[in-house]
């Protein structure tokens, strides 16, 4: 088989990640003076943050990122291997005479990949996706930079493979490009800020936390993305964007920088120039060159009109000519050593061709069979071929070797270092110049990787992507087992192994489902199942492998049955398809009863319901729905999972929701038996899987995945923050383009695998739950940790209400001897909760009461009817909303009520089932309309009860329960007062301020007219501590060594 065959899979390795292309901010090609376009930063010696580098690192970058460099400290979750690589960040070839190593990035991880030994060394230090890497001339020093919150630029020592310098927040939003000078003394960084982009030079070898010099790039200029130093004089360098090249000159003595942005228009040379890709300097010449998307090379030479009689290097350049080098766009440009021409120019284009030219732009050689997508990078090895020691014996050393010949009249041998080519189509190709040997090192996914599954018997992990590729790795040997491409026109969304590992089901974006052989990837049915009406989002097999079910984006569920007859042409056949939901299906699960091994099929949806299907009465074209259970009221359920076997004495399943809660449901009664908060607060787990217990573990664990983080939770669930640990798996939400989509665990519970979706990477993580278990055991009393979530004043207030509730239960007016107790009846829970500012719905009240009532039922066979203060505090911390009530939620509610009362029921239902907030100009309703809505919708409130509540809120009735009100009440007077206010129009502001008597954080007066500001403010309903704020911001971690 040809080594360059796209389906060639025997030598494929892995690693790196995908970074988002920079958005261009300007299309202007106008030539303006540097004083007009680029404004030197007069305050570059000032620290805008007011923090030293060390303080900034300690305060903003978490302990997790610092401790990751300590090899002594064990970690519960740590990266082991990366599959795939970032096609948009150029790689660096570190190969020499003794080793073959390539350096690249994978999401926020950096990888040193030893090609010969098939091993990886992962360098950690970034919490955002890496956007750029560079190296010194001798490749001893490496530098990497990221963009996003808490950005950093890190310099690495290749020999020790450790970080030697970290510059935190070099620019306000990180960097888009970094570059080291040839001698590694200075570092250039290009800010990623979309507005007010800046460019800095750093002397990173000294302790200063400030750049040596810096300029601000005018917003009128094209967004700059690349940096290039002049190899002969690093006091001159350039940057370029798609429409503008800027040349700079700086001084070591004077901390200033001169910059000039020459103009180049299509009219200048009477032809279309196109977009700029990259810029380089030609060695030993005062010339710079820039590649364009039209295949042209722009030649920049000194502007004689501005620099008269000066032959030295200058930033004042102008375009003197355009040279056509490629028929396709030039995507890469560099220079390298070459015999016999000393130096040559290397170009790569969008068709995959790599060409070599001498410094006079004469074609020397080309590779036209590297057609695996646009060339992103060409990086050369550093061997002894062109060293000073080899000069005397160079002729002898190349004798008898099959080097190609130059495309010149003299036909001299064309001798350069071996090189590696990476393409935007996720190919990494090694080229040995002698003999012309080309070998695919990697072929990976070049678009969203969403599907991920592990084999139940073998050490295999399967991945699939929107590029139509299914790829299976052996995660122990780190080699590719097999792969199959269905083409770019057949993007794949999901894949799952069956319970025996014989089949793998693959779901396509088109709604098709194919059942393949798990080893050969041959189809096991004559035709794919074409019943889906949208992308296949979820697939699962029953425990006995008799059923396969899948859900699509059209809210439907399809059931397949395994054929038991050998005469049947297909091993699987279609049974039925049903639509049981009216919103997106978030999960699908076959549940197996422990005793009978009978399977039950459930689907979970954003319509807040859990649907169960009748498998055993299913017939052709008929799949009965047993019931639909409402599992949420406001939050949206995100995933459905089962706990590890034997973890609980009863049978439960977990449901994670968008309110940062995890709920435990009894599989028989579908009763919510436990609710706990996720940590850090605000995290939404979209995937939860049980971890197979190891012999060394005395506890059980769950592995969880959010859009960004991979987490480990110790069971049983109780809300203890120390039982949670997590780590950034695929940066997202401003940290990167990744969005974790897939989660899988190996058959022995040793490794977890995560798929990053748009970042095209799959990461393999080592799990060490013993670390988490020891941390929890050492920490001591769990209930004490819940006290830390409350401020001292609020805790004292809670105690007062709790003790007052004891008095209430014995009667306010009781004159008998009081009975001393440390508990209150569970029926008092809602009253105390509302007294301290948490207002649960009736369904939430029922869940809280049931949680306590059945907490010991399985052990003792008796109900729990009392609750103590410690348990109450734990219950409160787990059930309360992590961010309180936002004003925008009230505003959204009034929009829904307004639509309901004008007869637009469809719009009302649509708004109540979505996260969207439709803001009108202060929508109003009358009190009578509000009364009717609250009495007839949702948890309906009776007329008498509603009147009582409103009378108390308006101050007509005194506060307190009936048994606490001692004064005489006139019902007629109250009724008359209420009727007089029924026609009063109210809106969100008046409802909050006048009726609920609440206020918004940061606003002294709700009617001040700051409606837009109010939308993001929090309504004060509960007291919080400083620890609460840290948790909300993700800065409090149960295990700070893991949580970033």
Q: How confident is the model at residue 49 (pLDDT cuts 50, 70, 90)?
A: very low
Answer yes or no: is pLDDT of 416 > 90.
yes
Residue of 1041, 1031, 454 whose CA lies nearest to 689: 454
Question: pLDDT confidence of 217, banded at 50, 70, 90?
Answer: very high
Where do the H-state alpha helices sit in 212-347? Answer: none
DSSP β-ladder status, 317-324 and 536-541: unpaired
The per-residue pLDDT for 244 is: 95
**What stretch of H or E contains 484?**
strand 479-485
What are the φ/ψ torsions at residue 533 (nearest 5 degrees)? Answer: -110, 15
Residue 308 predicted with pLDDT over 80: no
- In the sheet that 536-541 helps form, which strands lie side by side, from edge to edge? 536-541, 547-552, 556-562, 572-579
Higher pLDDT, 817 or 89: 89
Count Cβ atoms below 10 Å from residue 740 Cβ, excluding itself.
27
Instruction: Give the pLDDT band of residue 568 (cuts 50, 70, 90).
Output: low
Task: Report the pLDDT value the prediction gives residue 74, as an integer from 0 to 100.
Answer: 85
Task: Determine the Cα–Cα distance for residues 94 and 382; give it in Å rounded to an integer.
Answer: 7
Count of CA atoms in the C-beta half-sphere (13 A) of 566 = 0
Residue 932: per-residue pLDDT:
86
- Model confidence at 554: pLDDT above 70: yes
Residue 578: is its pLDDT beyond 90?
Answer: yes
Q: Is the pLDDT of residue 579 over 60?
A: yes
Of 564 and 579, more confident? 579
Pair 663, 655: CB distance under 8 Å? yes
pLDDT tens for 584-617 read 999 999 998 767 678 999 999 999 999 999 999 9
Residue 21 has pLDDT above 60, yes or no: no
CA distances from 961 to 214, 341, 831, 934, 949 (A): 68, 95, 10, 21, 10
Residue 297 near residue 361 (C-beta atoms within 8 A): yes
The yes-or-no verdict on residue 677 having pLDDT over 70 is: yes
Is the pLDDT reported for residue 919 higher than 60?
no
Which is more confident, 555 or 974?
A: 555
Neighbouring C-alpha atoms within 13 Å toward the C-beta of 497: 23
The confidence band for 400, taking pLDDT boundaries of 50, 70 and 90, is confident
Domains, the chain, in order of start with CATH, read 486-630 (2.130.10.10), 790-879 (1.10.238.10), 886-1030 (no CATH)
Is residue 558 a contact partner of residue 536, using CB atoms and an 8 Å limit? no
Place of tokens 């004043």: 793
Q: SS3 for 798-819, per residue?
A: HHHHHHHHHHHHHCCCCCCCCC
List of long-range contacts for 52-55, beta carbons under 8 Å, 24+ apart: 52/209, 53/166, 53/167, 53/168, 53/209
> Quick one: which of 1008, 760, 987, 776 has its CA closest to 890?
987
Q: What is the pLDDT of residue 569?
A: 65
Task: Give helix 971-980 / helix 943-953 axis angle, nearest 10°.
Answer: 80
| 990 phi, psi to nearest 5 deg | -70, -30
Strands 700-705 and 687-691, bridge-based pairing: antiparallel
The DSSP-derived string for 169-190 is -SSTTBEEEEEE-TTSS-EEEE
Q: Kindly report the three-state secondary structure assignment for every residue of 37-55.
A: HEEECCCCCCCCCCCCHHH
Query: Which residues are CB-neighbours of 668 under 8 A, at least 6 positions away?
Result: 651
Q: Which one, of 1041, 525, 432, lies nearest residue 774 by Cα?
A: 1041
Closest listed residue to residue 231, CA positions, set 107, 369, 137, 161:
137
DSSP-derived 3-state class of residue 736: coil
- Strand pairing report for 460-465 and 187-191: unpaired
Length of the chain: 1044
- Helix, coil or strand: residue 121: strand
Q: Retrieve residue 572's tokens.
A: 């699987």
| pLDDT tens readout for residues 793-817 | 999 999 999 998 988 887 776 677 7
Within 819-924, where are the H helices? 829-835, 842-853, 857-860, 869-879, 887-901, 905-912
pLDDT at 531: 94
pLDDT category at 64 given cuts 50, 70, 90 is: very low
CA 39 vs CA 175, 345, 807, 819: distances in Å = 19, 33, 72, 78
| Segment 955-1004, tens digit of pLDDT | 887 765 554 555 566 778 888 888 888 888 888 888 888 888 777 664 44
Q: How far apart are CA 774 and CA 781, in angstroms?
A: 14
- pLDDT, position 617: 94
- Determine the Cα–Cα distance for residues 745 and 767; give it in Å rounded to an integer: 10
Q: What is the pLDDT of residue 902?
A: 60
Q: What is the DSSP letter of 995?
A: I
Is residue 63 over pLDDT 70?
no
**pLDDT above 50 (res 46):** no
pLDDT at 34: 36
Q: Are strands 762-767 and 751-755 parallel, antiparallel or unpaired?
A: antiparallel
Cis peptide upstream of residue 716 (ω within 30 degrees of 0): yes
The reported pLDDT for the residue numbered 310 is 57
b/e 663-692 (16+ beta carbons within 10 angstroms → b):
bbbbbeeeebbbbbbbbbbbbbbbbbbbbb
Evaluate whether 149 touches 159 at the Cβ level (below 8 Å). Answer: no
Our CA dihedral for 760, 764, 765, 766, rounded to 10 degrees, sits at 180
Please, which pLDDT band fits residue 145 given cuts at 50, 70 and 90?
very high
Q: Would you call 290 helix, strand, or coil by DSSP?
A: strand
The whole-chain average pLDDT of the chain stands at: 84
Q: Is the pLDDT of residue 899 over 80?
A: no
* Cα–Cα distance for residue pair 609/426, rounded to 1 Å: 41
Lowest-pLDDT choice from 78-82, 232-236, 709-713, 970-974: 970-974
pLDDT at 20 over 60: no
DSSP helix, strand, coil percent of the chain (3-state; round to 5):
20, 35, 50
Give the pLDDT band (50/70/90) at residue 118. very high
Q: What is the pLDDT of residue 597?
A: 76
Helix (H, G, I), strand (E, B) or coil at 402: coil
- Higher-pLDDT residue of 900, 873: 873
d(C-alpha 90, C-alpha 332), whole Å: 10
pLDDT tens per residue across span 121-130: 999 999 999 9
d(CA 892, CA 915): 9
Token pair in block for residue 1024: 């919080």
Look at residue 565 and tell me whether its pLDDT is greater than 90.
no
Among all chains, which residue has been given the structure tokens 């019902």?
971
pTM: 0.86
Q: What string of DSSP letters covers 513-564? A: EEEEETTT--BSSSS-B---SS-EEEEEE-TTSSEEEEEETTSEEEEEEE--
Six-digit token pair at 1018?
A: 């929090």
For 737-796, what is each residue's pLDDT tens digit?
999 999 999 999 999 999 999 999 999 999 999 999 999 999 888 888 999 899 999 999
- 16, 89 Cβ separation under 8 angstroms: yes
Mean pLDDT of 507-518: 96
Which bin fits 938, alpha (ψ -120 to 50), beta or left (φ > 0)? left
Per-residue model confidence (pLDDT) at position 2: 41
Average pLDDT of 423-431?
95
Helix (H) or strand (E) holding 888, with range, is helix 887-901
Residue of 195 and 1000 predicted with greater confidence? 195
Q: Residue 841, Cα to own-chain centre: how many angstroms?
A: 33
Token readout for 586 is: 């978030």
In the predicted model, what is the mean pLDDT of residues 413-425? 95
- DSSP SS3 for 1028: helix
Buried b (16+ CB within 10 A) or exposed e, 596-613: eeebbbbbbbbbbbbbbb
Express as a percent the part of the chain with pLDDT over 70.
Answer: 83
């Amino acid at each position: 088989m040809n080594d360059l065959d796209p389906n060639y899979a025997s030598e494929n390795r892995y690693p790196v990640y995908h970074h988002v292309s920079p958005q261009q901010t300007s299309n202007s090609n106008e030539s303006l003076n540097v004083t007009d376009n680029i404004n030197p930063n007069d305050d570059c010696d000032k620290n805008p943050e007011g923090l030293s580098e060390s303080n900034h690192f300690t305060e903003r970058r978490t302990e997790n990122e610092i401790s990751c460099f300590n090899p002594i400290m064990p970690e519960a979750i740590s990266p082991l291997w990366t599959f795939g690589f970032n096609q948009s960040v150029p790689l660096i070839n570190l190969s020499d005479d003794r080793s073959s190593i390539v350096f690249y990035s994978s999401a926020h991880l950096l990888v040193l990949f030893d090609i010969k030994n098939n091993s990886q060394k992962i360098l950690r230090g970034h919490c955002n996706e890496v956007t750029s890497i560079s190296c010194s001339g001798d490749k001893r020093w490496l530098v990497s930079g990221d963009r996003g919150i808490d950005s950093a630029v890190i310099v690495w020592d290749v020999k020790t493979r450790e970080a030697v310098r970290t510059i935190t927040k070099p620019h306000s939003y990180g960097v888009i490009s970094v570059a080291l000078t040839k001698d590694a003394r200075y570092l250039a960084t290009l800010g990623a800020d979309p507005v007010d982009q800046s460019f800095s030079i750093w002397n990173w070898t000294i302790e200063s936390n400030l750049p040596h010099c810096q300029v601000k790039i005018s917003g009128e200029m094209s967004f700059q993305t690349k940096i290039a130093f002049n190899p002969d004089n690093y006091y001159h360098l350039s940057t370029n964007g798609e429409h503008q090249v800027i040349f700079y000159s700086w001084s070591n003595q004077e901390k200033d920088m001169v910059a000039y942005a020459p103009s180049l228009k299509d009219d200048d040379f009477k032809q279309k120039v196109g977009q700029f890709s990259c810029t380089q300097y030609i060695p030993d010449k005062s010339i710079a060159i820039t590649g364009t998307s039209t295949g042209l090379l722009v030649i920049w030479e000194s502007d004689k009109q501005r620099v008269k009689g000066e032959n030295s290097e200058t930033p004042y350049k102008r375009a003197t000519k355009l040279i056509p080098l490629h028929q396709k766009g030039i995507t890469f440009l560099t220079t390298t050593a070459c015999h016999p021409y000393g130096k040559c120019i290397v170009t790569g284009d969008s068709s995959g061709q790599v060409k070599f030219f001498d410094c006079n732009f004469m074609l020397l050689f080309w590779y036209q069979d590297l057609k695996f997508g646009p060339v992103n990078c060409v990086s050369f090895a550093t061997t002894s071929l062109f060293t000073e020691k080899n000069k005397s014996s160079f002729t002898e050393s190349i004798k008898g070797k099959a080097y190609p010949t130059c495309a010149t009249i003299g036909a001299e041998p064309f001798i350069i270092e071996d090189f590696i080519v990476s393409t935007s189509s996720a190919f990494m190709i090694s080229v040995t110049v002698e003999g012309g040997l080309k070998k695919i090192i990697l072929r990976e996914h070049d678009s969203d990787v969403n599907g991920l599954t592990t084999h139940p018997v073998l050490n295999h992990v399967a991945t699939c992507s929107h590029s139509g590729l299914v790829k299976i790795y052996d995660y122990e040997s780190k080699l590719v087992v097999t792969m199959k491409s269905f083409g770019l026109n057949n993007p794949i969304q999901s894949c799952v192994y069956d319970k025996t590992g014989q089949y793998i089901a693959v779901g396509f974006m088109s709604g098709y489902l194919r059942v393949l052989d798990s080893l050969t990837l041959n189809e096991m049915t004559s035709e794919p199942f074409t019943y889906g009406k949208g992308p296949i989002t979820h697939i699962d097999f029953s425990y006995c492998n008799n059923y396969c079910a899948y859900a699509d984006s059209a809210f439907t569920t399809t059931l397949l049955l395994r054929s038991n007859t050998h005469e049947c042409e297909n091993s699987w056949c279609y049974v039925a398809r049903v639509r049981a939901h009216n919103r997106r299906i978030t999960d699908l699960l076959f549940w197996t009863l422990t005793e009978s091994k009978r399977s039950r099929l459930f689907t979970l949806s954003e319509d807040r319901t859990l649907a169960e299907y009748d498998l055993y009465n299913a017939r052709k074209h008929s799949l009965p729905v047993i019931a639909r259970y409402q599992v949420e009221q406001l939050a949206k359920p995100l995933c459905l999972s089962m706990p590890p076997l034997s973890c609980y004495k009863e049978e439960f399943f977990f449901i994670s929701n968008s309110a940062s809660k995890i709920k435990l449901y009894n599989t028989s009664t579908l009763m919510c038996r436990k609710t706990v908060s996720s940590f850090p607060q605000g995290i939404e787990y979209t995937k939860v899987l049980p971890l197979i217990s190891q012999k060394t573990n005395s506890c059980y664990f769950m592995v969880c995945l959010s859009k960004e983080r991979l987490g480990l939770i110790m069971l049983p669930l109780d809300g203890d923050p120390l039982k949670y640990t997590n780590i950034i798996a695929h940066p997202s939400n401003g940290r990167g383009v990744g969005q974790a989509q897939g989660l899988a665990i190996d058959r022995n519970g040793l490794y977890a695998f995560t798929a990053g979706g748009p970042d095209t990477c799959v990461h393999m993580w080592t799990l060490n739950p013993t670390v988490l278990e020891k941390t929890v055991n050492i920490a001591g009393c769990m209930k004490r940790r819940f006290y830390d979530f409350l401020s001292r004043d609020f805790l004292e207030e809670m105690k007062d209400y709790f003790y007052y509730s004891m008095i209430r239960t014995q009667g306010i007016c009781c004159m008998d001897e009081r009975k001393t107790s440390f508990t209150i009846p569970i029926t008092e829970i809602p009253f105390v909760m509302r007294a301290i500012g948490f207002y649960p719905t009736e369904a939430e009240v029922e869940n809280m009461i049931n949680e306590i009532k059945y907490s010991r039922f399985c052990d003792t066979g008796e109900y729990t009817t009392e609750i103590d203060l410690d348990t109450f505090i734990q219950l409160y911390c787990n059930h309360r909303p992590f961010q309180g009530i936002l004003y925008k939620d009230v505003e959204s509610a009034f929009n829904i009520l307004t639509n309901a009362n004008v007869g637009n029921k469809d719009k009302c239902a649509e708004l109540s089932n979505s996260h969207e907030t439709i803001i009108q100009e202060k929508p109003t309703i009358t009190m009578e309309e509000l009364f009717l809505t609250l009495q007839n919708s949702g948890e309906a409130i009776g007329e008498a009860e509603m009147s009582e509540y409103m009378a108390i809120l308006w101050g007509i009735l005194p506060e307190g329960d009936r048994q606490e009100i001692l004064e005489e009440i006139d019902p007629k007077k109250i009724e008359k007062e209420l009727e007089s206010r029924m026609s009063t129009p109210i809106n969100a502001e008046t409802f909050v301020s006048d009726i609920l008597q609440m206020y918004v954080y940061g606003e002294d007066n709700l009617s001040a007219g700051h409606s837009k500001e109010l939308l993001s403010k929090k309504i004060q309903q509960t007291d919080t501590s400083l620890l609460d704020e840290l948790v909300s911001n993700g800065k409090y971690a149960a295990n700070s060594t893991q949580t970033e």
